Amino acid sequence: MVKVHSSEKILSCAKVGVKGVVSHFKDEHVACRLISMGLVPGCTIEILHKAPFGGGWYVKSDSLHIAMRSEEACCIVLR
Amino acid sequence: MESERKPTRVALIGNPNCGKTSLFNFITGLQQKVGNFPGVTVDIKSAETKLPDSNKVSWVDFPGLYNLYPTSRDEKMVVQSLLDTKDNYHPDLICYVADVTKLEKHLLLLDQLRDMQIPLILVLNMIDLAQKEHLEINAVLLAQKLRIPVVSVSGRSGEGIEHLFDAIKEQIERVKEPNPIENSEYKFSEAELEIIGQLELVFPSFSAYKRLLMAHHAPWLPFISASDRIHLLSILGENSFKSLPFQVREVTQRYNFFTPLVSSVLKKKRKEGFTFSEKLDGLLTNRILGLIVFLGVMTFLFQSLYIWAEWPMTLIEGGFSSLSNYLSSHLPEGWFNQFLTEGLIAGLAGILVFIPQIALLFFLISILEEIGYMSRAAFLFDRIMQIFGLNGRSMVALISGGACAIPAIMSTRTISSWKERLITILITPFISCSARIPVYTVLIGLVIPSKTVGYIFNLQGLAFLGLYLLGIFAALLSGLLLKWWIKSDEPSFLLLELPDYKLPVWRNVGLTVWEKVKTFTLEAGKIILIISIVLWFLANNGPSLKIEAANKEAKRVSIEKQLSPLEADNLSKAYLLEASYAGILGKTIEPVIRPLGFDWKIGIALLTSFAAREVFVGTMATIYSLGQNDDELTLRERLAVEKNPETGKPRYDLATGISLLLFYVFAMQCMSTLAVVKRETKSWKWPIIQFLGMTIIAYISSFIAYQVLQ
């Protein structure tokens, strides 16, 4: 399940305002949780905000808004 | 005999933020009771009501969850209740609540529940919002496709609730038939079928999907018998069963089934641009403006706790003291009179005096929670709080702790990670609360000179600030230590859904305030009352020989010094306190507290402070024969002239003063807080650890301060 490509676009490397399509997740735990919340591979995802103090990410996918830590954002690979 | 029938247990289950609790509150109102899952600190609300057709229903409001693969304690309890047919909360019928405006995200758990052999009703909630958003839903078609009843309601306004009751009635009648079989379209993989087949031996009566869940949750489910567990684990070992890949495949498969289904029954207008919530979040979660708004909101919360709670608290204290005065002068004098007026009534006042702060804090917090602001605050502070083993939501508890630790500790209920919640509970009492202020005022005035330093700063003011900062520092440092010390099997992650902003439902706000006040008064209140009566007894009773001698001595000194009746009365109170059990205890602990620079008089005040820290001032006044009505200034003047009999120097010099101040910053001296910690952690273990830990830190720092400054 864990794939490593140097050309992978990881969500946590993107800037606020970036939009993309979720390709897959690098961690199964995070994958199960995110899919259950409604963030499935193939859906669009947009970074709306970033928290202060090097904190988490605020992302949007359709009608869903999720706050996550960098650790989790690192697991989301974009197409 | 029909009415004697056991009520049907109906569970409300759904994703977080689906409006389940609003619906539960609308149906049950003040009937609800807070219970808890045995052995763990997960609260669960339930209530019994009668449906219009007189069927009795016992409603259970389960914690929200996203799927049947739980990570937090709350979620685990739900899965356990659903799998264990003997569980106290195992439902006869599930009302699955889904937010209709987010239907495509809310059907995963429903799809899993369809395979659980428990009758189901799908409740489409927030139908009023759907109409506003011009959302069209074909509920009839949805019911046909899912093969379960579907009703549309609004938990906020109660619209459509009668359809829900009808559907429940229909289901109750159908429950007499055998359990429905698996209902969903989910196709098991080859590997899953292999496991399910082999588990038939262990769980013959379970559906295929329930057997699969038993395999996933074998390591932690408590109700599996020892032999079954060995059998189960050996089957899993032989098949080298790996839970996570199976989970990911299953949830993805289920999504693939219902995503097209939802688009066939739901017509949504695609909106372009940002929604209202997103625009508002541009401000509220902005890395700079968001912090400013949060500071503003918290300042308001803190101020209102500090200022608005003041007058009802004075009113309660005044009311009870008038009542106690009235009774004391109208009842025959004697032991019972004293017990009633100074022990029992004062103890009750000591409980009720917290209610304004608790009510006010939860009124404000639940409005913020209802609106959707609290999850934004959690997001903003997640990283910085994480360093100290805390949660973004801990911020609110720590700030409220500056007014009073009791409502602050009660507010940690919304922190879903048990470890983060526990650390918040344990460190909050370090934050200087309002009860410490009178003590700080007296002692700082006594030992810190009031002079200006650095042109604008008053030294006493700086000392005050220093004590507050010291408390915050102690709290955060303990957080760091506890984070390392407390072990947890819950993985730490945020993954928090940020719901759309909504207007608060006042019914929900009211019920939260009511529930918090009720649990505090009934559960923590019991402990507070018992301890305050014990403290009263210790301070007002003593060995009769000693009491008699003290009385005689007081009379002799009064006559000798020709004291006025008031002065004589104050003097006799001081002598009696010294002769009481509390006085004896104070003298007994003197050797222990002497290295801190404390004498037995301070020892007595430390003991009585356990009722509430500000009692220190009153006790010291009594010990030094001052009247009840003298203020802090009089006490300070009296303490300033007190000499140490051994050295002839002032008793309250800088060393003793600083040592005592440090003791009051760090020590756990509040029985009411301990009672609340006991209530919130459901055991005596944590309040005892907290008491010992804080007192040891206090002792060591006072010891060092006194020995260095002396």
A1, pLDDT greater than 60: no
- For B558, the 3-state DSSP assignment is helix
Predicted pLDDT at B469: 94
Distance between CA atoms of B446 and B460, rounded to whole angstroms?
10
B683 located within any domain: yes
B500 located within any domain: no
Find out whether B388 and B476 touch, Cβ atoms under 8 Å: yes
Angle of helix B310-330 relative to helix B355-371, nearest 10 degrees?
150
Distance between CA atoms of B342 and B486, rounded to whole angstroms?
42
A19 located within any domain: yes
Please indicate, yes or no, whether residues B103 and B216 belong to a single structural domain of this protein: no
B522, pLDDT greater than 70: yes
Q: What is the ipTM of this complex?
A: 0.91
Please indicate, yes or no, whether residues B49 and B161 belong to a single structural domain of this protein: yes
Distance between CA atoms of B636 and B617, rounded to whole angstroms?
10
Predicted pLDDT at B183: 73
Predicted pLDDT at B362: 92
- Tell me the chain B residues in contact with residue A63 when contact means C-beta distances shorter than 8 Å: 101-102, 105
Q: What are the residues facing B458 on neighbouring strands?
A: B452
Find out whether B580 and B538 touch, Cβ atoms under 8 Å: yes
Q: Is B339 on the interface with A (CB under 8 A)?
A: no
B21 located within any domain: yes
Number of structural domains in chain B: 4
A29 located within any domain: yes
- B34: DSSP letter: E
B32 located within any domain: yes
Distance between CA atoms of B496 and B487, rounded to whole angstroms?
23
Please indicate, yes or no, whether residues B194 and B169 belong to a single structural domain of this protein: no
- For A42, the 3-state DSSP assignment is coil
Please indicate, yes or no, whether residues B649 and B614 belong to a single structural domain of this protein: yes
Predicted pLDDT at B175: 65
Indicate the residue type of B542.
Answer: G
C-beta atoms of B105 and A68 within 8 A:
no
Please indicate, yes or no, whether residues B235 and B207 belong to a single structural domain of this protein: yes
Please indicate, yes or no, whether residues B170 and B306 belong to a single structural domain of this protein: no
Rg of chain B, C-alpha, whole Å: 31
Burial B245-261 (b: 16+ CB within 10 A, else e): ebbbbbbeebbeebeeb
pLDDT top residue among B603 and B176: B603
Distance between CA atoms of B663 and B666, rounded to whole angstroms?
5
Please indicate, yes or no, whether residues B475 and B574 belong to a single structural domain of this protein: no
- Reading the block at residue B501, the tokens are 């902003």
- B602: DSSP letter: H
Please indicate, yes or no, whether residues B46 and B126 belong to a single structural domain of this protein: yes
Q: Is B109 on the interface with A (CB under 8 A)?
A: yes
The H or E element containing residue B348 is: helix B345-352
The H or E element containing residue A59 is: strand A57-61
B217 located within any domain: yes
Half-sphere CA count of A46, side-chain side, radius 13 A: 12
Q: How does strand B266-267 pair with strand B457-458? A: unpaired
Percent of chain B exceeding pLDDT 90 equals 61
Selection from B364, B385, B358, B354 nearest residue B299 by Cα:
B364
Predicted pLDDT at B302: 82
Predicted pLDDT at B593: 94
Can you tell me which residue has the tokens 């009585």?
Answer: B608
A4 located within any domain: no
C-beta atoms of A66 and B497 within 8 A:
yes
Find out whether A36 and A78 touch, Cβ atoms under 8 Å: no
Question: B293 is in which domain, residue-wise?
Answer: 289-433+469-487
- Reading the block at residue B705, the tokens are 């301060």
Minimal C-alpha gap between A56 and chain B (Å): 7
pLDDT band at B71 (very low <50, low <70, confident <90, very high): confident
Over residues B156-182, the mean pLDDT reads 83
Question: A66 is in which domain, residue-wise?
Answer: 9-78
C-beta atoms of A67 and B495 within 8 A:
yes
B686 located within any domain: yes
CATH number at residue A48: 2.30.30.90
Distance between CA atoms of B403 and B434, rounded to whole angstroms?
5
Shortest CA distance from B495: residue in chain A: A68
- For B46, the 3-state DSSP assignment is strand
Selection from B561, B560, B573 nearest residue B627 by Cα:
B573
Minimal C-alpha gap between A28 and chain B (Å): 6
Q: Is A34 on the interface with B (CB under 8 A)?
A: yes
Over residues B354-394, the pLDDT tens digits come to 999 999 999 999 999 999 999 999 999 999 999 999 988 89
Can you tell me which residue has the tokens 């400054």?
Answer: B709
Cβ-nearest to B285 among A41, A49, A69: A49
- Tell me the chain B residues in contact with residue A47 when contact means C-beta distances shorter than 8 Å: none
Over residues B53-80, the mean pLDDT reads 92
C-beta atoms of A28 and B382 within 8 A:
no
C-beta atoms of B252 and A35 within 8 A:
yes
Over residues A3-54, the pLDDT tens digits come to 455 568 899 888 899 999 999 999 998 999 999 999 999 999 999 999 988 8
Find out whether B660 and B707 touch, Cβ atoms under 8 Å: no
B5, pLDDT greater than 80: no
Q: Name the A residues in 56-75 with CB < 8 Å from any B CB.
A: 56, 58, 60, 62-69, 71-72
- Rounded to two decimals, the pTM is 0.89
A25 located within any domain: yes
**Cα–Cα distances in Å, from B217 out to B66, B79, B110, B493, B694?**
16, 9, 19, 20, 39
Can you tell me which residue has the tokens 């650095």?
Answer: B454
Distance between CA atoms of B282 and B277, rounded to whole angstroms?
9
B439 located within any domain: no
Distance between CA atoms of A25 and A30, rounded to whole angstroms?
7
Please indicate, yes or no, whether residues B27 and B133 belong to a single structural domain of this protein: yes
Please indicate, yes or no, whether residues B643 and B667 belong to a single structural domain of this protein: yes
Q: Is A33 on the interface with B (CB under 8 A)?
A: yes
B279 located within any domain: no
Over residues B547-575, the pLDDT tens digits come to 999 999 999 998 998 888 888 888 888 89
Over residues B201-255, the pLDDT tens digits come to 899 989 999 999 999 999 899 999 999 999 999 999 999 999 999 999 999 999 9
